[in-house]
Chain A
């Protein structure tokens, strides 16, 4: 069964460093998302991406964040200058159509020191 994959599973970085989180969505999916879950809290929407552009972003998704789909398969989230409060689990999700079910990757646990 096709699944969303994410790498790395864990990432430890120093405050101020850039990180890139990678996702490979399910191959026939067209809509892509990033969500964040700070430990013990709810899952929060960061950004949605369709047709090679951002379709919606949350207040959390400030200028330090960017997304791209460089090669038609990978979907990346970049944090330019990490802060302590960026420590969280980051989930990628994808879906075939806008109102279809979203399937999540296993997440990347980011720890900023």
Chain B
């Protein structure tokens, strides 16, 4: 069974600085998809970024980028120029290419951006 691990329960960063959130996963599959979702205090789940495992190029979305290391099964999220609105819980999630599309989530990392 696939698992997703986020080893940093809480992190903080100064506004305008860069922060990296870690995620590792375990799977025997070769094709899959990885996601980062943001959950602000409103508790809405908002997609931040998506990575297809077959793509070697790391995904980027404005200030958000990932470092996808397939061999190491690592999928970290880098937030550049952190803003107060980035304060949220961040979840890493895995989707197999072979099953029904369900997402398997990590435990989450609470990020606090300080002014």
Contact = CB atoms under 8 A, between A and B. Distances in A.
Q: Do A and B bind each other?
A: yes
| Residues of A in contact with B, size category | 20 to 34
Main secondary structure of the interface of A (DSSP, over half): strand
Interface of B: 33, 35, 37, 42-47, 50, 91, 93, 95, 97, 99-108
Contacts of A104: 37, 44-46
Interface in A72-113: 89, 91, 93, 95, 98-99, 101-104, 106-107, 109
B100 A43 contact: no
A103 B43 contact: no
A65 interface: no
A101 to B, nearest CB: 6
B87 to A, nearest CB: 16
A102 B33 contact: no
Point out which of A31, A102, A104, A109 has the most chain B C-beta atoms below 10 A from its C-beta.
Answer: A102
